[in-house]
Structure 1
Amino acid sequence: MHFDSLPSLWFGLSLPAIVLLYLFKRKYVDTRVSSHMLWNRVLKDMEANRPWQKLRNRLLMIIQLLAAALLVLALMQPWMWSQRSAKAHVVIVLDRSASMTASILAPDGATESRFERAKRMIADWAKDEAPDSAITLLTMGEQAEVLLSRESSPDKLRAALDPIQPAYGKTAYKEAMSLAAAMTRSDPDSEIRLFTDGQFAEPVSDLSFAVPVTVERVEAADGAASSGNVSVSQFGVKSARDAGGTVTAVASVKNWGDTPKQIEVSLYAGGELADVRTVAVEPGKQASVYFERLASADWYKLDIGRGDSLLMDNVSYAFLEGDRPKKVLLVGSGNLFLEKALQLAGAEVTQLSPDGAAAWIRSQKADNSPDVVVVDSVADPVLASAEWGKWLSSKPVWYIRSGYEGKETAVPAGTYSIEEHPVSRYVKLQDTHVANVYQPGKVDWGKPIVSAKDVPLIYAGAENGQPRLLIAFSLQQSDLPLRSEFPVLVQNALGWLTAAQGGSLGKAVAGERKEIAMSPDAFSAKWISAESGHTDSEAEKSSGMIASMQTVPSLPGLYRLEEQDESGKTIRVRWLGAAADSRESGPGQSELRFTHTSAASGDAGESAQTGEERGAPLALWRWIVVLILAVLVWEWGVYRRGTSV
Structure 2
Amino acid sequence: MGFSQIIFSWTAIIPVIVLLYYFFRKKYTDQTVSSTLFWSEIMQETRVSPYLKHLQKNALLYLQLLALLLLVLALMNPYIKKSTIAGAQTIFIVDTSATMLAGKEQSTFDAHKKEMLSLVEQLDGRPVTLITTGSSPQAVLQQETSAKSIEKAIQDLHVTYETAQINKALDVAQAFVGDTPTSIYVFTDTLDKKQLPMEKDTVKWLVYGAEKNLTNVAITRFAATTDGKSTIALVQLQNDTNQQHKLTLTLQNSQGEVITEEQISLAGNEATTKTFKDLPLIDTLTANIDVEDNYAVDNRQSVVLQTATSNIVVDQSLHQLIQKGFQSINSHVKIVPSLQLADNQNATIVTNQTALLQKMARPIVLFGRDEVEKKEINGEVKITSDALFAFSDLNDIYVSAVYPAFDNYKTIATVGDEPFIQRSPQGDIVVLADIADTDWPLFPSFPLFLWSVEQQLSESVGSLGIFAPNEQRAVALSQGEWSVYSQDDEFLSTISNGLVTAPTQPGIYTARSNSEEKRLIVQLQATERVIAQGTSYTLGELQQNGKEEVSKASFVPWLILIILCLLVAEWEVQRRRGFTN
TM-score calculated relative to the size of structure 1: 0.46
CA distances 1:550-583 after superposition (whole Å, capped 9, x unpaired): 2222221111112x3xxxx323x22121012220
Partner of 2:469: 510
CA distances 1:276-316 after superposition (whole Å, capped 9, x unpaired): 11112222221111212111111000011363211221111
Q: Superposition pairs for residues 599-614 of structure 1, below 5 Å?
A: 609-610=537-538
Partner of 1:619: 544
- 1:609 and 1:623 map into 2 onto residues whose CA distance is 18
Partner of 2:177: 184
| Structure 2 residue corresponding to 1:559, chosen from 484, 494, 509 | 509
- Deviation at 1:621? 3.3
Partner of 2:389: none
Indicate if the aligned counterparts of 2:221 and 2:237 stay in contact, CA closer than 8 A.
Answer: yes
Q: 1:199 to 1:292 in 2, by over 3 A?
A: farther
Partner of 2:341: none
- 1:208 and 1:167 map into 2 onto residues whose CA distance is 31
Partner of 2:439: none
Q: Percent identity?
A: 18
Partner of 2:486: 529
Partner of 2:134: 141
Q: Superposition pairs for residues 470-619 of structure 1, below 5 Å?
A: 502-519=461-478, 522-530=479-487, 532-540=488-496, 546-547=497-498, 549-562=499-512, 564=513, 569-571=514-516, 573-588=517-532, 609-610=537-538, 617-619=542-544
Q: 1:550 to 1:623 in 2, by over 3 A?
A: closer
Matched, 1:95 2:132: no
| Structure 1 residue corresponding to 2:153, chosen from 160, 181, 194 | 160
Q: 1:207 to 1:284 in 2, by over 3 A?
A: farther
- 2:264 and 2:118 map into 1 onto residues whose CA distance is 43
Matched, 1:257 2:241: yes
CA distances 1:476-495 after superposition (whole Å, capped 9, x unpaired): xxxxxxxxxxxxxxxxxxxx
Partner of 1:318: 303
Q: 1:115 to 1:583 in 2, by over 3 A?
A: same
Partner of 2:259: 274
- Deviation at 1:619? 2.3
Look up the SS of the partner of 1:156 in the other structure.
helix
- 2:148 and 2:360 map into 1 onto residues whose CA distance is 65
- 2:291 and 2:149 map into 1 onto residues whose CA distance is 36
Indicate if the aligned counterparts of 1:507 and 1:577 stay in contact, CA closer than 8 A.
Answer: yes
Q: 1:215 to 1:285 in 2, by over 3 A?
A: farther
Look up the SS of the partner of 2:106 in the other structure.
strand
Which residue identity is paired with 1:176? A
| Structure 2 residue corresponding to 1:198, chosen from 176, 190, 194 | 190
| Structure 1 residue corresponding to 2:202, chosen from 211, 219, 222 | 211
Matched, 1:294 2:222: no
- 1:138 and 1:270 map into 2 onto residues whose CA distance is 37
Indicate if the aligned counterparts of 1:196 and 1:215 stay in contact, CA closer than 8 A.
Answer: no
Q: 1:256 to 1:623 in 2, by over 3 A?
A: closer
- 2:279 and 2:225 map into 1 onto residues whose CA distance is 10
- Deviation at 1:622? 7.6
Q: 1:131 to 1:205 in 2, by over 3 A?
A: closer
CA distances 1:48-95 after superposition (whole Å, capped 9, x unpaired): xxxxxxxxxxxxxxxxxxxxxxxxxxxxxxxxx994342221111111
- Deviation at 1:421? 6.0
Q: 1:247 to 1:169 in 2, by over 3 A?
A: same
Partner of 2:562: none
- Deviation at 1:345? 13
Partner of 2:107: 113
Look up the SS of the partner of 1:293 in the other structure.
strand
CA distances 1:196-221 after superposition (whole Å, capped 9, x unpaired): 21157x9835674453342332444x
Partner of 2:10: none
Partner of 1:172: 165
- 2:291 and 2:464 map into 1 onto residues whose CA distance is 27
Indicate if the aligned counterparts of 1:89 and 1:191 stay in contact, CA closer than 8 A.
Answer: yes
- 1:586 and 1:209 map into 2 onto residues whose CA distance is 32
Q: 1:114 to 1:258 in 2, by over 3 A?
A: same
Q: Which has the larger radius of gyration?
A: 1
Indicate if the aligned counterparts of 1:511 and 1:551 stay in contact, CA closer than 8 A.
Answer: yes
Q: Which has the higher strand share?
A: 1
Q: 1:258 to 1:197 in 2, by over 3 A?
A: same
- 1:211 and 1:303 map into 2 onto residues whose CA distance is 49
- Deviation at 1:116? 1.1
Q: 1:224 to 1:529 in 2, by over 3 A?
A: same
Q: 1:280 to 1:215 in 2, by over 3 A?
A: farther
